[in-house]
Chain A
């Protein structure tokens, strides 16, 4: 009986806590709570084969997961990593096969690591966003529910209130330091949501990834939870976010909501 109690004690430790030996700290993850998110600022490389690309994605996810991430966002253009030729020299069929290969890799990593993964392909200048659940299944629709939290991609038409926005990006030009305020950060301020933004960097790509909130939901009143230090180098950002902090900020959005909705509708 004593042995059974000891066994139960260790079992409870195993299921409630995840020990991160690499960072020498323990991160509490409740089974039904969504608290930690990660963003990968992905270093562009010309991968020689799908196996190397798979290894790289897996390695990034493992690092993010060690810090507790339950959802990890990769940038747009992940399919490009598998292009052997410039896109204009590939047939529709080849492009489509590469997209499928990319999806398989992300699906495999998501199910192996039991983690939600988001990323986007870039086909002929158009972003195609994907969100996979922790079983590696591709989720359908525009609004996704992760641990009771409503999540959507920023580019999609979002007709209902969500709590978290994902913005996988790929750009070649960066105007100045203020540009990092111009996308997901600004969306967080205007829609009172958390946001995650991930950029492809290196070679001719540039960007500054980050995890953002409405300014009212951050202690520093900056709206920045985590932001990459570099615009050119790979970084993995993981942070805890508390969705209850959004409530105060959202109350601002909801003040006079119906009156403004009527105003916008009427014109």
Chain B
């Protein structure tokens, strides 16, 4: 079971600040404790582990899109790549556990999030996080799964901060606020 923190969750007892954090039951911090964006690309910077950078360019090989940790294989996609059907179908063959998509938009558009994030999850079958940046410097997070008999794949459309639990084997999820509502 993985916990994915998106945004700065001040109520989290485990950490005081997250931009994008993914933890597992076994390790306190696995990857992407801080997701940074700079002139060269996006960086998953975890001070305890390796630093992965995806540059702002068309990759030379597909391996350039992927980084592995001890527990996860993550694909990083930018903007239009999230809607490239042929590329997504190729990525679906690569046994990736999670896709993190960076999407820069002119303004908030739920249909663009569905096309890029939900659509990516449907095409690849891989859970997909979208980091959506809109002017001036707003960042919102989305989380999508492949549609199944039990869910429509729309877990988080757009939130400034949220947390989801994800079981990689069964692709089950619970969301923190949904859990609270049930209590």
Query: Which residues of A line the B interface, CB within 8 A?
Result: 173, 175-179, 181-182, 186-187, 189-191, 215, 221-223, 252-253, 255-256, 259-261, 263-264, 266-267
Contact = CB atoms under 8 A, between A and B. Distances in A.
B84 A178 contact: no
A182 B118 CA distance: 9
A191 B123 CA distance: 13
Interface of B is mostly: helix
B112 A176 contact: no
Interface of A is mostly: helix
A182 B151 CA distance: 13
Given A215-B112, A252-B80, 8 more contacts: A178-B154, A190-B85, A190-B119, A215-B109, A215-B115, A253-B80, A263-B60, A266-B61
Interface of B: 58-62, 80-81, 83-88, 90, 109, 111-112, 114-115, 118-119, 122-123, 147-149, 151-154
Contacts of A223: 111, 115
Q: Which of B115, B123, B148, B154 has the most CB of A within 10 A?
A: B115
Given A176-B152, A252-B80, A255-B80, A186 B115 contact: yes
Nearest to B83: A190
Nearest to A255: B80
A260 B87 CA distance: 8
B58 A256 contact: yes
A178 B84 CA distance: 20
A266 B84 CA distance: 16
Given A263-B62, A264-B87, A178 B153 contact: yes
B80 to A, nearest CB: 6
